[in-house]
Amino acid sequence: MLVNILTSDSGFLKTIAKGARRLKSPLRGKLELLNYGALVYYPSRTSDLHILSQFDIINSFPEALNTLERSAFFHYLAELSSLAAYGEEDSGALFCLLFQMLKDAPGIDAIIPARLWFEIRYLHLLGVFPPFDHCINCGGPLGQGVKFMLKKPGWICARCGDQVSDSIDIEPGVMAIISYILRNSLNQVMKLKLSRRQSALLNRLLSYLVDSAAHKKIKSKRFLNHVIN
């Protein structure tokens, strides 16, 4: 049985759990998605596929999977996290972000603000979230009438926006919402009231950035959109 594990200090581990499906295996029933625990593994000297010897569950986070909406949401977060983690490179910040979401799962009563909170931090963590301080096209201040350019993702001023066809009009207040989400805790963001138009615009913008960062269409995102819309 192949098991991928995101760790706080050893990066993203690809392991094989031999005999994990056998009735008497000590690993049976412990290797479900999103289980948090302590593990023992034997590093391979010849490949990046290691041998998983032991896994003891500390928390299975049942609140993250107790409704269809939450289950779809956390499966999406798990896939996002796996796409951003590379081998044994440091993934401590990514691990902490996902772990924080799992701990806060009981308080997530609305998926959309929780998704915005995670995606914005995820993109910021990867270094692909465009800065707010200048137009990506001319380098000048953004001012009023800001747009978002798709071909070369980033914010552009109104003057440059008139010269670019592949852009999204950003209505007033949206950039302030993004800044608010970046500055505040999940609990505070859960209280945020967004119009349907603001939610749709943020979803379009962040979906584009997430797909660009992942270099692929994310299957679990399509299912999540189907569940919550």
Taking the C-alpha atoms of residue 44 and residue 15, their distance in angstroms, rounded to an integer, is: 9
Asked if 177 contacts 202 with a C-beta cutoff of 8 angstroms, the reply is yes
Amino acid at 194: L
Strand 147-149 and strand 36-42: the pairing is unpaired
Beta bridge partners of 56: 38
Taking the C-alpha atoms of residue 1 and residue 136, their distance in angstroms, rounded to an integer, is: 46
Kindly report the backbone phi and psi dihedral angles of residue 164, in degrees, each rounded to the nearest multiple of 5, phi listed first. Answer: -115, 130
Structure confidence at residue 212 (pLDDT) = 86
Q: Return the structure tokens found at 177.
A: 């919402």
For the chain, percent of residues with pLDDT exceeding 70: 98
Quick: pLDDT tens for 103-116. Answer: 999 999 899 999 99
CA 42 to chain centre: 29
Domain locations in the chain?
A: 1-60, 62-229
- What's the CATH class of domain 1-60? mainly beta
Per-residue pLDDT band at 87 (split at 50, 70, 90): low
Give the mean pLDDT of 204-221. Answer: 87
Taking the C-alpha atoms of residue 202 and residue 199, their distance in angstroms, rounded to an integer, is: 5
Q: What is the CATH number of domain 62-229?
A: 1.20.1440.120
Q: Is 173 left (phi over 0), alpha (psi -120 to 50) or beta?
A: left
Residue 21 vs residues 38, 50, 160: alpha-carbon distances, Å: 19, 18, 58
Closest CA to 135 of 156, 153, 161: 156
Closest CA to 77 of 88, 69, 66, 87: 69
Taking the C-alpha atoms of residue 107 and residue 200, their distance in angstroms, rounded to an integer, is: 23
Asked if 16 contacts 43 with a C-beta cutoff of 8 angstroms, the reply is no
> 90 pLDDT exceeds 70?
no
Quick: pLDDT tens for 150-189. Answer: 888 899 999 898 888 888 888 888 989 999 999 999 999 9
Query: What mean pLDDT is reported for the chain?
Result: 90
Taking the C-alpha atoms of residue 105 and residue 25, their distance in angstroms, rounded to an integer, is: 30
Taking the C-alpha atoms of residue 7 and residue 136, their distance in angstroms, rounded to an integer, is: 35
Structure confidence at residue 54 (pLDDT) = 94
Give the mean pLDDT of 192-204. Answer: 90
> 85 pLDDT exceeds 80?
no
> 118 pLDDT exceeds 70?
yes
